[in-house]
A and B are shown apart, each in its own frame.
Chain A
Amino acid sequence: MTGLITILLLGILILVLVGRLLVQTATRRHARVVTIEDYSQARAALDSVFVETAAIKRIFAAEDVKFVSESDVPEVQRFFVKERKELAIQWLRMTQKQVAHLFQLHLKLASYTYEPSPKFEFNLTVKYVCFILVSNGLLVLLWFFGPFETVKVVSHTLRVAEHFCSAFSLRLEKVNPAKLRPSH
């Protein structure tokens, strides 16, 4: 029975993937070719999400909520929490979108190269899936509890994220800086 279920899944997955391929092709029919410059631009776009670091930090600031909670008007408190929640969700979604775009560009560019490393590609996919899971979990928390209640979870999530990203940082030390120049 397990064998039959596996084969059934195989058939269903084929149909799902061919559907995805058709959608991808239909949406990309007029898309232009991706170059390494596009990648640099996507990286710049991702950086721009964080450009106002101080302002983003403020969304999650505990002292703000403390200050507002001193107010006797409950409507002000509600409005404040609602606004911060919307801002936090918007920021996280924008970050997700930019990271997804960067990941897609990496895959597209990797398909042009002669010797892609399955090991690196696999590691990158695992890290990307982790990022998606963590950031979506964060979105759910933000949605239900708001940014301030989520801060504790964020700190924990950060520790997990740092653990994953440390692998990148360690490897970065071994990278030849000359190779990071833009291509011509």
Chain B
Amino acid sequence: MDSNLIWASTAVLEAAVLFRGWKAGLFRKYPFFYTFVSWVLLTEGLRFWIYKYIPSLYQAFFWDTRLVTIAASYAVCVEIFKNGLRHNRGVARVAQKLLLIVFVIAASYAASDFLHGGFRSVARAAADLGSYLSYIEAALLLVMLWLFTRYRIPFGRNLLGLVAGYSLWVGIEVIILVLLFLPGHGASVGLRKLAPLVYLFSMLIWCVSLWQSAPEPTQPPESAVERDYEVLVAKTRASFAHLSALVGRTLRP
């Protein structure tokens, strides 16, 4: 597909996501996400303008804004975390600790790798830093997805679309970055063209899933839920102890 066509389609979809978000009243629900999309749309417009009228500035502007865009995409991560675990305060507390640990480990690893890589140019440093920020983001997203699937956190259509689009984008982008580092693939045109296509597809998922405000999954009534973890632990321990006794009694020769 032609690069210009991908670029134009992405910009149209971004505008559509923003317009529908405003019409459906989703701005208040997912403010960080819409700020991120607005930022991306704004930078794309500015890049186009600079490319056309001040081409000498384009490269520096591209790398700087790319870095800010990656940093801004953390906002989507925060949005998913905030909304996904809104009704699960206990899991959110565990997740916060776990995410902090993962962030510190990933950031330390990335920082040491970045500093050992040497400083060749501003553009190169910005590109490297962007890659490391993407890796850290992917690590954080992985932990969140693991918690969501492990505790079977229910999602409404809007949030599910947000998570699906974001995960697809971050997951494939990380894979592409790794493949570009492999010997002989650094200049692969196919791989470089794949990233905007994946982003376009993610934008399509966001556009469809956030077209209108969807109802949130039903939360259990307070009276029907056991909030005391100790009670649950006691029951689980009792169940497994009972199970082991039954298995022993049944299979003992």
Contacts and interface: CB of A to CB of B under 8 A. Distances in A.
Interface in A145-184: 151, 154-155, 158, 161-162, 164-166, 168-169, 171-172, 175-176, 179-180, 183
B167, B177, B244, most chain A CB atoms within 10 A? B244
Interface string A7-28: 1101111110110111011001
A56 B135 CA distance: 52
Interface in B161-189: 163-164, 167-168, 170-175, 177-179, 181-182
Interface stretch (B13-21, B37-45, B230-238): B230-238
B223 to A, nearest CB: 8
A113 B90 contact: yes
A62 B253 CA distance: 9
Contacts of B232: 36, 39, 106, 109-110, 113
Contacts of B93: 114-116
Interface of B is mostly: helix
A99 interface: yes
B3 interface: no
27 contacts: A4-B178, A7-B135, A8-B178, A10-B135, A11-B172, A11-B178, A14-B142, A17-B142, A21-B145, A21-B160, A22-B160, A24-B152, A25-B160, A35-B224, A39-B232, A50-B250, A60-B253, A111-B152, A112-B226, A116-B93, A118-B98, A121-B94, A154-B251, A155-B252, A161-B244, A165-B240, A183-B226
Interface in B192-242: 218-221, 224-242
